[in-house]
């Protein structure tokens, strides 16, 4: 990601929440195309700016990917 936004996490914040997003690959599945941090920063961008998912800047992963990740975490009461 080339641009930085006010909604981005600092390295310290990223390390603090990293344990909540670790993935267990022992059950199979393919590796993620985007890092969890990229997805979280995109979610925080939407939550902070109030923009619609479709209008996420191109610096972030595709909006459908971000929204799907958000929806799963929201259903699990993370957000």
Q: What is the pLDDT of residue 2?
A: 57
Query: pLDDT tens digits for 12-47?
Result: 987 887 777 666 666 777 777 888 888 889 999 999
Model's pTM, two decimal places?
A: 0.75
Hey, what's the torsion of the CAs at 5, 37, 48, 63, to 10 degrees? 100
Q: What is the pLDDT of residue 23?
A: 63
Helix (H, G, I), strand (E, B) or coil at 61: coil
Q: Token pair 């914040």 is at which residue? A: 13
In a domain, 3, yes or no: no
In a domain, 1, yes or no: no
Query: pLDDT tens digits for 48-74?
Result: 999 999 999 999 999 999 999 899 888
In a domain, 5, yes or no: no
- The number of distinct structural domains making up the chain is 1
Q: What is the pLDDT of residue 25?
A: 63
Host domain of residue 70: 11-75
In a domain, 61, yes or no: yes
Instruction: Please state, in angstroms and rounded to a whole number, the distance separating the CA atoms of residues 12 and 61.
Output: 22
In a domain, 2, yes or no: no
In a domain, 55, yes or no: yes
């Amino acid at each position: 990601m080339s641009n930085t936004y006010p909604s981005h996490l600092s390295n310290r914040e990223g390390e603090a929440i990293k344990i909540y997003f670790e993935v267990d690959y022992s059950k199979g599945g393919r590796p993620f195309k985007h890092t969890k941090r990229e997805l979280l920063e995109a979610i925080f961008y939407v939550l902070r700016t109030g923009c619609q998912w479709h209008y996420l800047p191109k610096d972030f992963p595709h909006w459908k990917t971000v929204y799907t990740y958000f929806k799963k975490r929201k259903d699990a009461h993370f957000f």
